[in-house]
């Protein structure tokens, strides 16, 4: 056996979970990503998707993607930097910049690549990247590739952030990178206080709006819009795989920052560009979001309804303020996984969140809503989840 195989075989946890029948990952879905999906031939209510506006299976997006494929083909066959820029990319970037209130935008092939390419690129050895302890993994990976010094502060603790800013050299770049909506527990960054600190210490702010666009702000424009602080946030990042029902990501900022990233960010320069089908789907989704405000209104009505229902039966939903509702188990991983398996067998798809991704005392089931869910579907889910939580003596 080669050393490489020996190295891989030392990681035994997945096989242990498979042997116990509670392995929860790579569950194959046999249908489109709607409020009801098909798994092993059975209909299951989907409460694990990030399609907040419910557009992943919208016929208008499908038609836009088909037309773009007919015109441009299935691949750009190269990077944006060389042969892979379409006029459709440029038009989408102009649309995105206008959407979030910035001068320019730059599209990447995925949201992960966006954070990887931006966070790693903005700063040098004398500079600083300041991260919330619960920032997304893509931000963490970007910081690992950065030459800047990385400082982490306690989750959403602005006093802790100020303590870190105090130790930074005044003349250095100080890039604060935060999620707008934190993807596991559904709470919102304290952006108003963060902006005050950024001004005090001459720092810059980058907000990851992956879970915010389509959810927060005027017409779903994101976290900065939600707070009325668009001009005070330097960079706004977003993804297309959530509210916009496609795949890809973008960063928006002023001309100087985007010009720099366009010519130095390795994950855009050395990755194949977004296929035209994805570009067209995103553009169509933006139009729908802006023209159908009732989607976001219904999403928030569902959110309040579901959160109140879970709380009324004694389920701990933490500090969630958004359609991401954590249902805390606060137990060992196997309990969360067994609960998740049993719920799937009962027709409810939710996502287990385990340690070490979260502390052991914070393990949870992640329940996420889409604008296309109905109140009746929420009632069914709450009822079945309540029974499961009682069975496992969580409530």
Active-site option among 242, 265, 267, 283: 242
Look at residues 310, 391, 299, 395 and name the one whose alpha carbon lies nearest to residue 345.
Answer: 391
pLDDT tier at 268, thresholds 50, 70, 90: very high
| Whether domain 59-291 has CATH 3.30.360.10 | no
Pairing of the two strands 324-328 and 249-253: unpaired
pTM above 0.85, yes or no: yes
Q: So what's the pLDDT on residue 183?
A: 94
183 is catalytic: yes
Residue range 170-194: mean pLDDT, rounded: 97
211 is catalytic: yes
Residue 123 has pLDDT above 90, yes or no: yes
Residue 358 has pLDDT above 90, yes or no: no
The shares of helix, strand and coil residues in the chain, as percent rounded to the nearest 5, are 45, 15, 40
pLDDT tier at 357, thresholds 50, 70, 90: confident
How far apart (Å, rounded) are the C-alpha atoms in residues 94 and 153? 34
Active-site option among 211, 226, 298, 373: 211
Residue 19 has pLDDT above 90, yes or no: yes
What are the domain boundaries of the chain?
A: 3-30+293-391, 59-291
Q: So what's the pLDDT on residue 355?
A: 86
Q: Which residues contact 300 (CB under 8 A, 6 or more apart)?
A: 323
Active-site option among 49, 183, 225, 271: 183
Residue range 383-392: mean pLDDT, rounded: 97
242 is catalytic: yes
How far apart (Å, rounded) are the C-alpha atoms in residues 95 and 256? 18
Residue range 217-231: mean pLDDT, rounded: 98
The CATH label, of 3.40.50.10490, 3.90.1150.10, 3.40.50.300, 3.40.50.11030, for the domain at 3-30+293-391 is 3.90.1150.10
Tens of pLDDT, residues 359-376: 888 899 999 999 999 999
How far apart (Å, rounded) are the C-alpha atoms in residues 118 and 143? 9
How far apart (Å, rounded) are the C-alpha atoms in residues 102 and 254? 6
How open is the CA angle 141-239-114, to the nearest 5 degrees?
A: 35
Which tops the pLDDT comparison, 357 or 269? 269
């Amino acid at each position: 056996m080669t050393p490489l195989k020996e190295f891989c075989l030392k990681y035994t946890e997945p096989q242990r979970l498979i042997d116990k029948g509670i392995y929860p990952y790579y569950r194959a879905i046999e249908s489109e990503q709607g409020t009801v999906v098909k798994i092993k031939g059975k209909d299951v209510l989907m409460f694990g998707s990030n399609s907040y506006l419910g557009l992943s299976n919208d016929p208008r997006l499908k038609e836009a993607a088909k037309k773009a494929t007919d015109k441009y083909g299935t691949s750009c066959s190269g990077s944006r930097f060389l042969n892979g820029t379409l006029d459709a990319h440029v038009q989408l970037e102009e649309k995105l910049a206008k959407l979030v209130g910035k001068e320019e935008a730059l599209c990447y092939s995925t949201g992960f690549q966006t954070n990887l390419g931006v966070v790693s690129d903005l700063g040098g050895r004398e500079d600083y990247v300041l991260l919330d302890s619960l920032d997304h993994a893509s931000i963490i990976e970007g910081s690992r590739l950065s030459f800047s010094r990385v400082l982490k502060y306690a989750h959403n603790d602005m006093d802790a952030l100020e303590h870190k800013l105090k130790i930074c050299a005044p003349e250095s770049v100080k890039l604060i990178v935060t999620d707008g909506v934190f993807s596991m527990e559904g709470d919102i960054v304290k952006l108003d206080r963060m902006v005050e600190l950024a001004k005090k210490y001459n720092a810059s702010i980058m907000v990851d709006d992956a879970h915010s666009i389509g959810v927060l702000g005027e017409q779903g424009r994101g976290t900065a819009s939600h707070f009325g602080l668009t001009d005070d946030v330097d960079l706004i990042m977003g993804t297309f795989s959530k509210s916009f029902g496609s795949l890809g990501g973008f960063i928006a900022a002023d001309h100087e920052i985007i010009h720099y990233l366009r010519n130095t960010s390795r994950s855009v320069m050395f990755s194949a560009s977004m296929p035209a089908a994805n570009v067209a789907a995103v553009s169509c989704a933006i139009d729908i979001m802006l023209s159908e405000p009732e989607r976001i209104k219904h999403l928030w009505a569902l959110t309040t309804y579901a959160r109140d229902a879970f709380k009324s039966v004694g389920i701990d939903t933490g500090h969630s303020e958004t359609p991401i509702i954590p249902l805390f188990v606060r137990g060992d991983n196997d309990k969360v996984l067994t609960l998740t398996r049993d719920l799937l067998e009962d027709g409810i798809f939710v996502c287990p969140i385990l340690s070490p991704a979260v502390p052991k005392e914070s393990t949870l089931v992640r329940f996420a809503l889409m604008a296309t869910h109905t109140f009746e579907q929420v009632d069914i889910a709450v009822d079945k989840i309540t029974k499961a939580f009682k069975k496992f003596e969580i409530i």
